[in-house]
Structure 1
Amino acid sequence: MKLAITSALVAATVLLTGCNEANVGTSASKRPDIAPYMGADNGFMAKGWKPGDQASWNAEITKRNQLQSEYSRIK
């Protein structure tokens, strides 16, 4: 009986530990009150994009969309 209770408590502890998730993604780029082109300065930025420059943001988005288009990839 003690083994069943102990097993149930261990299982409940393991399941509840998974619910304790850290708050990931609270950087400035995820804030709803900041424009997307303001972005963060990190290693995952596109090479031609400059944070805070809306024209370069639009150019990079257009370039990315063209590379993901199936019509342009077929040719």
Structure 2
Amino acid sequence: MKKVIFAVVLAAGLAACGDQPQELTASKQDSAAYTGTGKPYVQPGWTPGDKASWESQLKARNQYGQNDYTRMN
């Protein structure tokens, strides 16, 4: 009887060790980021599809929004 209980406990313990893989599957992007998503999300001054405009908007956002030296008075 003790052997059966030990076998059941051992099997349950080993089953708990079987971890499923938890890898994140990357989503495929069909187009470049600067092509835009639609009208509701367009920043004023940026034209969808214009890479230079996209880069200037990112530069301005990084400079004025995320640079602590320009945010301090």
**Shorter-normalised TM range:** 0.5 to 0.7
For residues 22-73 of structure 1, the C-alpha deviation after alignment (integer angstroms, 9 at most, x for no partner) is 51322235xxxx5x534x526xx56234432113202211211112111101
- For 2:54, which of 44, 48, 57 is the aligned residue? 57
For residues 46 and 11 of structure 1, do their structure 2 counterparts lie closer, same or farther at Cα, with a shift above 3 Å needed? farther
**Unaligned stretches of 5+ residues in structure 2:** 1-5
| Counterpart check, 1:26 vs 2:28 | yes
**Which contiguous aligned blocks of 4+ residues in structure 1 show a shift greater than 3 angstroms?**
48-51
Q: Which residue of 1 aligns with 2:3?
A: none
**Unaligned stretches of 5+ residues in structure 1:** none
Work out the CA distance in 2 between the residues paired with 1:57 and 1:37: 6
Q: CA RMSD in A?
A: 2.6
- SS of alignment partner, residue 28 of structure 1: coil
CA shift for structure 1 position 9:
1.4
Equivalenced residue count is 63
Taking structure 2 as the reference length, the TM-score comes to 0.58
Q: Which amino acid aligns with 2:25?
A: N
- SS of alignment partner, residue 28 of structure 2: coil
Q: Which of the two has higher C-alpha Rg?
A: 2
Q: State the identity %.
A: 25
